[in-house]
Each structure stands twice: as structure tokens, then as C-alpha cells.
Amino acid sequence: MKEIEFTRDVDHTLAAMQEHGLLLSSAGADGRPNVMAVGWGCPGVIWGRPVFVVLVRPSRFTFGNIEATGEFVVNVPGDDMHETCMYCGTKSGRDVDKFAERGLEAVAAETVGAPLIGQCVRHYECRVVHRNDVVDAAIDAEIRSQAYAKGDFHRLYYGQVLRTAARE
Ligand SMILES: Cc1cc2nc3c(=O)[nH]c(=O)nc-3n(C[C@H](O)[C@H](O)[C@H](O)COP(=O)(O)O)c2cc1C
């Protein structure tokens, strides 16, 4: 993995997120890695820092991991990883070891405890610098009925990107 500029190929990151989702990896307090698909998020600049915002519902196993560690990695899958994204977006780390089941390679990150996924093409290592929840009383009514009919309002994690890396 080599370090690259945060802004490099960000258009591809956004396209991949819309196409099949990105892979959000985290680790529990015990170090056990997990991965889930994320389709909603924003790479951008806030507080003069590169930040990747991800939206995670409290019902996700990943939620507890990020609450426990304050760290995560956003991995951009290759175009051949569509099935892996669907698997990681429909199975929970409560029930299965998704790294083992999908043969994903956990590569040590340089700045956080959450692992990079070796098969992915780009990685954003993030430390949570802010978090807040979607506010029921403030959300657009149409979005509320589409996304929050059952509650489970997302928590937004603002991850300062400490390092962006790409496969050599
Ligand atoms: C393409 C795709 C995108 C998804 N995006 C999100 C998302 O942005 N936020 C979220 O909370 N769940 C999202 N999900 C659902 C989670 O990935 C799914 O519930 C997953 O099983 C959670 O895994 P975990 O329990 O191991 O954390 C998405 C699912 C798919 C298939």
C-alpha cells in the first residue's frame, strides 16, 4: 500500500459508493475485525481537515465497534467485489466472521486499529472527531418516511482521514 493524496480519485470513490457501496471496516475492543457495506457517506473537508463522514444505524454490529474504539477504515472495493459488498451489507458480524467467509485479507493500518481490506483499491484510515444523530424533528418528511419508518436513526461519524492509501 502506498500513501496517496486524500483528493486523488475521489470521483471514483463516490461512483463506487453509488454503484455497489463501500466497505467500512472496524475492530472491536477485543481486536476482532468486522466489515459492513455503506452506501451513504461523504468525503470532504471540515475544520480544515480531510474528513470522511459515514452514517451507521445503531442496530449495526459495526456501531458498537466504532463507539468502543472511535476508529474505522473506509475501503473502496474493486468492480469485481460486488457480491462481497452485498454479502457484507446483508450479514452481521454478530453472526458470521465476514473476513473469513469472504476470504478478505486484513492488513494492518498505519494510524488506526481497524484493518484495511487487502483486496480493495483505496483506503481511508479515520479517527472519529465528531458524531451526531439524525434528528427526527428536523429531517425532511419524505426522507423520514423512506429511511426511518422503523426509527433506527443513523449516527453520523465524522472521521478525520489520517491516511489515504492505495494498492501498489
Ligand atoms: C449497498 C449497501 C449499502 C448500505 N449502506 C449502509 C449505510 O450507509 N449505513 C448503514 O447503517 N447500513 C448500510 N447498509 C446495511 C449494512 O451494511 C448491513 O446491515 C450489515 O449487515 C451490517 O453489518 P454489521 O451488523 O456486521 O455491522 C448497506 C447495505 C448495502 C447492501
64-122 pLDDT per residue, tens: 999 999 999 999 999 999 999 999 999 999 999 999 999 999 999 999 999 999 999 99
pTM of the model: 0.98
DSSP bridge partners of 72: 126
Report how far residue 109's alpha carbon sits from residue 114's, in angstroms, rounded to the nearest whole number: 7
- Evaluate if residue 54 carries a pLDDT over 90: yes
Average per-residue pLDDT for the chain: 97
- Which residue has the CA at smallest separation from atom 29 of ligand 1? 89
Which pLDDT band, with edges at 50, 70 and 90, does 166 fall under? very high
What angle (nearest 5°) sits at the alpha carbon of residue 33, between those of residues 31 and 39?
A: 140
Q: Which class is 2-166 in CATH?
A: mainly beta
The beta-carbon contacts of 7-12 under 8 Å, at least 24 apart in sequence, are 7/50, 8/164, 8/166, 9/122, 9/166, 10/43, 12/76, 12/122
Give domain limits for the chain: 2-166
- Calculate mean pLDDT across residues 52-65: 98
- Calculate mean pLDDT across residues 47-61: 98
- Evaluate if residue 168 carries a pLDDT over 90: no
- Which residue has the CA at smallest separation from atom 1 of ligand 1? 21
CA of 1 to the centre of ligand 1 (A): 26
CA of 37 to the centre of ligand 1 (A): 5
Taking the CA of residue 166 as centre, how many other CA atoms within 13 Å lie in the half-sphere pointing to its CB? 11
Residues flanking ligand 1, CB < 6 Å: 21, 34, 36-40, 55-57, 60-62, 85-86, 89-94
CA of 89 to the centre of ligand 1 (A): 4
